[in-house]
Each structure stands twice: as structure tokens, then as C-alpha cells.
Amino acid sequence: MLLSAEQQRLFDDAQKIVFLTGAGVSTASGIPDYRSKGGIYDDSGVVERPEYLLSTDALNREPEKMYRFMKENMYFPDAKPNIIHQKMAALTHQGRARIITQNVDSLHTQAGAENVIEFHGSLYNIYAVTDGAPATFEAYMQDMRREDGALLRPGITLYGEIPFHVTEAAQWVHEADLIVIVGTSFVVYPFAGLLQYAQAQVPIIAVNLETIPAPANVVQVIGDAQIYFDELRV
């Protein structure tokens, strides 16, 4: 058992759970973890760094490169929510949980979760750079430009941009009575910095395949988050 009886009690008693989630939540849905071997941040075989290809500089200078990179490496439209998304969504339906995710795959919302902050946006929120008018994902997959030539882009946080709803996310963490970090290396800021807003007495659990850099009061569960959430009773 990955999930201890004590941790189950914490979930049972909590009324304001905040989940902080990353790419590891979606690997079971067939979406690669960006920072693992084979992910887009893997150095092997890389000609140009993702930090450039996913930046405002690339959008302004070489949007074709950005478009090609994202289409080839970041879109998995057939991916479906897994047990982790489903259990978290169930807790939001009970009015006892909120989710702040780094993921841009929108699987939390696809699972029906309520009270979700997509901290880095969504790949499926497409709009024109010139006037902000929305466009469909299907249209974007066909062409990076609108019929009138306007450049389209997804509403994700590029390097050089500020994440979405930072103040609200910090407030959610401050109000939490249980914080659960799942599937993230916890090295990307300001997301990792959200923990500084947690109240001192609030229990914090991290469920990951590896130890993450986190304060000493964080209880780290090393193992498969799928198994952990399969064991969790909601």
C-alpha cells in the first residue's frame, strides 16, 4: 500500500484540499513527461532548446518553428483522463478540493473537475495574436494562420510570459487545509513557489516517482501516483 491509513484520514477530514499537479499526472494517459528521457526537455538529439521554441522570441521571430515543434511534440488529442484525474475531479465535486495544474493538456477539465486553475494555460485555447478572437483547435491543426493571415497561437504560458491566475492560486494555497503535490519535479517557478503561501500547520503530501526539492515538513511518497489514487477512497 502506498497510501497509509493516516493519509487516508487526512483526505477524509480535509475540507479545502489543494492539488498541485504536473506532467506525471498525465503520463498514464499516454502524454510523455517533458523532463524525463524522451521528453521535450531531454537533451539527446536536440538542435534547438524548447526554452527558445516555446518562447515569445520564437513566436515573434520564427512562429513556423514554434508551430511545428508544438504540433509534433505537445498535442495528444486522443489522450483521456486517468484514475488520478478522476479521483481529483470527484473530490472537487464534493466541494472539498481545488486543483492548480502546470499541465496544458486540459485533462483535469476533461475529467469534469471543478475549481481548476490551469496555471500555464491550455493548448486547446486557440486565439489570434492580433485581436484575441478565438479559433478552433481543428483550424489550428490545419494552419497556424487564420484566413485573413492573422497568426494563431495556443493560450499557454510561453517563456517570457507570466502564468495565469497567480494571485488566485496563491490564495487557494493559503486557504488549504491539505496540500497534495502530484507528478511534478517541482523545479519550475513561480509554480513551485506557491508552497510559501501555505499555512504552517497544514499537512503537505508529495506523490512522485522520485524525491522532489521540498521543505522538510513535506511527506514524500515515492511511487506510482496511479496506484496511490487507485487506493484512495473518496
Nearest-10 Cα torsion for 209, 210, 211, 212: -90
- DSSP tag of 145: B
φ, ψ (nearest 5 deg) of residue 88: -65, -40
| Peptide bond preceding 134 in cis form (omega within 30 of 0) | no
How many CB atoms sit inside 10 A of residue 3's CB? Answer: 19
Rounded to whole angstroms, the Cα distance separating 15 from 111 reads 21
> Is 120 annotated as catalytic?
yes
Which contiguous run of DSSP H or E holds residue 117? strand 116-118
HSE-up of residue 1 (Cα within 13 Å, Cβ side): 9
Cell numbers found for residue 50: 524548447
Residues 85, 93, 108, 120: which is the catalytic one? 120
Query: Would you name the residues annotated as active-site residues?
Result: 120
